[in-house]
Structure 1
Amino acid sequence: MPADSTATIVTKAIDQVITHREGDCTDPSCARHAGTTNCPPITVSRSPGSVLGEAVAEAWHAAGGSRLDIPAGVVAALALWPQKSPGAEAADTIAAYIAAQPPRVLVRGLADSADYYYRLRPDLWATARPLFDWTREDLHDTHLAGVRAVARAALRHGVLQHTGDTDPAERSRIDLMSWVITSLRHHHSRRSLGEYHTPPDISNLIATVLADEGSTERRPHRRGEWALEPTAGTGGLFRSAAQDLRRAGEDPAERGWVMLELDPLAAAGAAVNALVWGLGPRAFVGCGDVLAQPNLAEDTLARARDMARHRDDVMDLIRFAIATRTTDRLLDALMATN
């Protein structure tokens, strides 16, 4: 991670803790203080992925947007929204709250949703960054209108119903990132990249055949096994494999999953999916050309270890800086009373 990114994370974390502790935040884009609490309900339906993806693409292009990272990032941040509930029972309430927010507050909330995962999985967070870097830009009105339109379209078509369940098996019923990215690229000339993600039914069939190794009897899975997908796309094959394991009474988080993908946007989608689907602490995503980088899988694992150590160093620095600033203020207050 670049040094300026680390400094930004540290400074932002310290400032948020101090200002919200003291209640004097005046940031107009801060969802904690500037967001509306008047949240009328919105009509929500749990639409199929194809319908949701098409609705997102239509909303974005109707608003005049041309970039792919912004609308895909909106859906990714909503899919990652940290507040999950059994049976996604809180999804409608959360959807109404998000849909009611002013555009700049909405952008900040989406950024916070993604940043939440830095402490949990810094490597997946870094791989997913192409979907979220736009949240740090000074977006013009066209993009802000597009963000709001995309968020509302995704919410109305059930993005939180698909991804807001506490049960990872329920969150793994669909690969929303695949549907969204392919729909956006269809509107933006998908054929120019020659990218077609494997349909879910085919992924399910392939996963079943690979799991049974062609036998008529199901092969017992061995705990701790690793799986590698060198052309992962957004990870659809591993979604099917994980669901296959769950149906057999096994936890996919006990396995190792390595997804490699050439396209940064698809790799970012795979990183988001690894978190949404609960693939566990040994799920990794690498972005690169497996033909030109034969050691890409090993490099991806090494990078993840380095980023975990870096995350620990950053969090230690944040805790120290907060403690130091708090101590300084206490000393200033003590001196003022003497």
Structure 2
Amino acid sequence: MSAESTAALVNEVVDQALNHKVQNCTDPSCARHAGTTDCPPITVSRSPGSVFGEAVADAWYAAGGSRLDIPAGVVAALALWPRKSPGAEAADTIAAYIAAQPPRVLVRGLAESADYYWRLRPDLWTTARPLFDWTREDLHDTHLAGVQAVTRAALRHGVLQHTGDTDPAERSRIDLMSWVITSLRHHHSRRSLGEYHTPPDISDLITTMLADDGSTQRPYQRGEWALEPAAGTGGLVRSAAQELRLRGEDPAERGWVMLELDSLAAAGAAVNALVWELGPRAFVGRGDVLAQPDLAEDTLAQARDMARHRDDVMKLIGFAIATRTTEQLLDALTASR
């Protein structure tokens, strides 16, 4: 993050913390002030991944969209929606609220859903950025209509039901990002990209066979690291994590390194690492493992650097808030004399 970006972030967070924008907001795209509270319920079904992916792709292309990052980013932001509930019981209410918002308010809300995770995992947030950079663009009407169409299609087919549970095992039952990205690319040419994500049934079978290979040594040991050099959106890791949970273990007790050449798939893996709650030692690197033999080590080093930078920025924010608050108190005292 550049010095200019850091300064902009500090100013934005400080302004929000001190309620300057809340008191004097005239921004028509501000989700806090322009969003509707008239939210009629929508019909929701928890669709299987193949149906979900096709519904998203159909909605996007029917609206005239052509880019892949926008519809995939919409689903990613919804999957990351911070409010989770036991059994995803709040999902229907949240879906109705999101579906009712006008397009520019919707874009702002999706951006804030993704940005929420910067403080938690700046490295994963950075890897996932190709899915969210469009939220900072001045989108034209076709793209705005597409965002709204994709949002409603994803909500109707149960994105929040799939990813809105407080139990990470429930959120890990499906790799929505894989289904969405492959469905979107089907309209172009997956063959030309050489991209084929491992079907979930196959990845589940592989992990089960590895876990039950007849050896006396446990296949998944606490503290061990797993490396997936061609991760896609993380399907094999999802299956391994679920196998651990079936055995009463927590995937967060081990390390996961997912490496992927394609930036969009790597971004999807970073989103999934958060949705599936793989823990503080889950990392995603983007690059060519054949050309970059040290990619895994570089990924871990970059993550450490980003965490330190995050800590430095948070200290700046705390100092800026304290300074701004002191200035306000002094102004108030001066005015009262």
TM-score over 0.5 (shorter chain): yes
**Post-superposition offset of 1:28:** 1.5
Q: In the aligned structure 2, how far is the partner of 1:272 from the partner of 1:66? A: 22
**Post-superposition offset of 1:225:** 0.6
Partner residue in 2 for 1:71: 71
Q: In the aligned structure 2, how far is the partner of 1:22 from the partner of 1:146? A: 29
Partner residue in 2 for 1:333: 332
Contact 2:210 2:219 (C-alpha < 8 Å) held by counterparts: no
Partner residue in 1 for 2:245: 246
Q: In the aligned structure 2, how far is the partner of 1:2 from the partner of 1:240? A: 37
**Post-superposition offset of 1:94:** 0.2
**Post-superposition offset of 1:220:** 5.8
What pairs up with 1:206-221 in 2 under 5 angstroms?
206-212=206-212, 214-215=213-214, 219=218, 221=220
Contact 1:127 1:285 (C-alpha < 8 Å) held by counterparts: yes
Q: 40-49 or 182-191: which moved more?
A: 182-191
Q: 1-10 or 108-117: which moved more?
A: 1-10
What letter is aligned with 2:290?
Answer: L
Partner residue in 2 for 1:322: 321
What pairs up with 1:112-191 in 2 under 5 angstroms?
112-191=112-191
**Post-superposition offset of 1:10:** 1.5
What pairs up with 1:73-112 in 2 under 5 angstroms?
73-112=73-112
List runs of 5+ in structure 2 lacking aligned partners: none
Deviation string, structure 1 residues 106-138 (Cα, Å, up to 9, x no partner):
000000000000000000000000000000001
Contact 2:15 2:21 (C-alpha < 8 Å) held by counterparts: no
Instruction: State the SS of the aligned residue for 1:39.
Output: coil
Deviation string, structure 1 residues 86-116 (Cα, Å, up to 9, x no partner):
0000000000000000100000000000000
Partner residue in 1 for 2:307: 308
Contact 2:46 2:159 (C-alpha < 8 Å) held by counterparts: yes
Contact 1:211 1:218 (C-alpha < 8 Å) held by counterparts: no
Q: In the aligned structure 2, how far is the partner of 1:37 from the partner of 1:176? A: 28
* Equivalent residue pairs, number: 337
Q: In the aligned structure 2, how far is the partner of 1:65 from the partner of 1:262? A: 25
What letter is aligned with 1:81?
Answer: W
Q: In the aligned structure 1, how far is the partner of 2:102 from the partner of 2:329? A: 37
**Post-superposition offset of 1:215:** 1.9
**Post-superposition offset of 1:209:** 2.2
Q: In the aligned structure 1, how far is the partner of 2:310 from the partner of 2:156? A: 36
TM-score (norm 2): 0.97
Asked whether 1:286 is paired with 2:277, we answer: no
Instruction: State the SS of the aligned residue for 2:271.
Output: helix
Q: 183-192 or 127-136: which moved more?
A: 183-192
Instruction: State the SS of the aligned residue for 1:128.
Output: helix
Deviation string, structure 1 residues 267-326 (Cα, Å, up to 9, x no partner):
000000000001000000000000111000000000000000000001111111111111
Deviation string, structure 1 residues 55-86 (Cα, Å, up to 9, x no partner):
00010001111000000000000000000000
Instruction: State the SS of the aligned residue for 2:258.
Output: strand
Partner residue in 1 for 2:4: 4
- Cα 1:284–1:97, aligned 2, differ >3 Å: closer, same or farther? same
What letter is aligned with 1:70?
Answer: I
**Post-superposition offset of 1:25:** 2.4
Deviation string, structure 1 residues 181-229 (Cα, Å, up to 9, x no partner):
00000012222212110000100111122334x3276836321010000
**Post-superposition offset of 1:139:** 0.5
Partner residue in 2 for 1:277: 276
Q: In the aligned structure 2, how far is the partner of 1:134 from the partner of 1:220? A: 42
**Post-superposition offset of 1:31:** 1.1
Q: In the aligned structure 2, how far is the partner of 1:21 from the partner of 1:143? A: 27
Q: 201-210 or 251-260: which moved more?
A: 201-210
Asked whether 1:56 is paired with 2:56, we answer: yes
Contact 1:80 1:114 (C-alpha < 8 Å) held by counterparts: yes
What letter is aligned with 2:120?
Answer: L
Partner residue in 2 for 1:262: 261
Please give the root-mean-square deviation of Cα atoms over the aligned residues, in Å. Answer: 1.3
What letter is aligned with 1:256?
Answer: G
Deviation string, structure 1 residues 148-177 (Cα, Å, up to 9, x no partner):
000000000000000000000000000000
Instruction: State the SS of the aligned residue for 2:18.
Output: helix
Instruction: Report percent identity of matched pairs.
Output: 85
Instruction: State the SS of the aligned residue for 1:227.
Output: strand
Contact 2:103 2:144 (C-alpha < 8 Å) held by counterparts: yes
Q: In the aligned structure 1, how far is the partner of 2:8 from the partner of 2:254? A: 34
Q: In the aligned structure 2, how far is the partner of 1:63 from the partner of 1:276? A: 28
Instruction: State the SS of the aligned residue for 1:152.
Output: helix
- Cα 1:47–1:82, aligned 2, differ >3 Å: closer, same or farther? same
List runs of 5+ in structure 1 lacking aligned partners: none
What letter is aligned with 1:150?
Answer: V
Q: 100-109 or 320-329: which moved more?
A: 320-329
Q: In the aligned structure 1, how far is the partner of 2:131 from the partner of 2:67? A: 11
